[in-house]
Amino acid sequence: MKLANASIPNITASKPTSVSSDTYPELCNFVFSDEEQEIDDDLNWPEIQSLIVQNEVSLTLDNKLVKRLDINHIASNYPSEDQHCFNLENPNALLFGVFDGHGGPECAQLVRDVLPNQIMKRIDILVDASFETPTLRICSVSNAIQECFLELDKDISAKALVEARSNPTTEPGKDFSAAISGSCAILAYVDIPNSDLYIANTGDSRAIIGVRDEQGWHAKIMSNDHTAHNVDEKMRMYREHPNEAETLFSLDRVLGLLAPTRAFGDCDLKWDSKIQSNIPSQYFPDVRANLEHYRSPPYISSLPEIQHHHLTSSDRFLVLASDGLYDELSNDQIVQLVASHLEQEPCLNDSKWSFSDENASTHLIRNAFGGSNQRSITYRLGIRPPYARSVRDDITVVVVFFQSTKSN
* pLDDT at 348 > cutoff 80: no
What's residue 344's pLDDT?
A: 77
Q: Which residues pair with 209 in a beta bridge?
A: 220, 318
pLDDT tens digits along 181-240: 999 999 999 999 999 999 999 999 999 999 999 999 999 999 999 999 999 999 999 999
What's residue 245's pLDDT?
A: 94
- Range(s) of the domain holding residue 144: 41-402
What's residue 86's pLDDT?
A: 96
What's residue 163's pLDDT?
A: 93
Residue 229 in any domain: the answer is: yes
Residue 32 in any domain: the answer is: no
What's residue 25's pLDDT?
A: 33
Residue 239 in any domain: the answer is: yes
In angstroms, rounded to a whole number, what is the distance separating the alpha carbons of residues 81 and 108? 7
Residue 6 in any domain: the answer is: no
26: exposed, middle or buried (Cβ count in 10 Å: 0-12, 13-18, 19+): exposed
Residue 135 sits in a domain of what CATH number? Answer: 3.60.40.10
pLDDT tens digits along 106-143: 999 999 999 999 999 999 988 767 788 999 999 999 99
What amino acid is encoded at 403 in this protein? Q
Residue 199 in any domain: the answer is: yes
* pLDDT at 34 > cutoff 80: no
What's residue 234's pLDDT?
A: 97
In angstroms, rounded to a whole number, what is the distance separating the alpha carbons of residues 341 and 207? 18
Residue 269 φ then ψ, to 5°: -110, 15
- Mean pLDDT (the chain) is 87
Residue 296 in any domain: the answer is: yes
The number of distinct structural domains making up the chain is: 1
pLDDT tens digits along 238-290: 999 999 999 999 999 999 999 999 999 999 999 998 999 889 888 876 667 67
Report pTM.
Answer: 0.88
What's residue 395's pLDDT?
A: 96
* pLDDT at 166 > cutoff 80: yes
Residue 12 in any domain: the answer is: no
Residue 347 in any domain: the answer is: yes
Return all residues near 118 (Cβ < 8 A) that are at least 6 apart. 148, 151, 152
Q: Assign 160 a pLDDT band (cuts: 50, 70, 90).
A: very high
